[in-house]
């Protein structure tokens, strides 16, 4: 539904001259819009779930390969003997 059409229908609502088929037109447009939004949200959630699974897999690899003999050096303090 275009914004112009919606504005026309909303004007009819305020004038109390709207007909039942026009109300159905508004409801149909709302349902269609909600359906599109739901699909978009569902697709985005699927992408997030895939990324989370990848992150969990990498974290599991890190934890599995963690050994007391080896570690990750976060900050290396060098002796300053200048």
Q: Note the pLDDT tens digit of each residue in 10-29.
A: 999 999 999 999 999 999 99
Q: Which of 13-27, 34-48, 50-64, 66-80 has the lowest mean pLDDT?
A: 66-80
Q: Work out how many domains the chain is built from and give that number.
A: 1
Confidence of residue 57 (pLDDT cuts 50, 70, 90): very high
Q: Please report whether residue 79 resides in a domain.
A: no
In this prediction, residue 73 has a pLDDT band, given cuts at 50, 70 and 90, of low
Element (H, E) at 80: none
In a domain? residue 50: yes
Specify if 42 maps to a domain: yes
Cα–Cα distance, 33 to 81 (Å, whole number): 69
What mean pLDDT value characterizes the chain? 87
What confidence category does residue 34 fall into, taking pLDDT thresholds of 50, 70 and 90? very high
Distances (CA, A) of 50 to 10, 26, 35: 42, 36, 23
Q: Which domain holds residue 7?
A: 3-64
d(CA 15, CA 9): 10
27, 9 in Cβ contact below 8 A?
Answer: no
């Amino acid at each position: 539904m275009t914004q112009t059409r919606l504005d026309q229908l909303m004007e009819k609502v305020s004038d109390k001259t709207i007909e039942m088929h026009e109300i159905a037109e508004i409801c149909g447009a709302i349902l269609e819009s909600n359906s599109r939004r739901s699909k978009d949200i569902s697709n985005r959630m699927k992408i997030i779930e895939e990324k989370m699974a990848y992150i969990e897999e990498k974290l599991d690899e890190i934890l599995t390969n963690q050994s007391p003999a080896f570690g990750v050096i976060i900050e290396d303090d060098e002796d300053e003997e200048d």
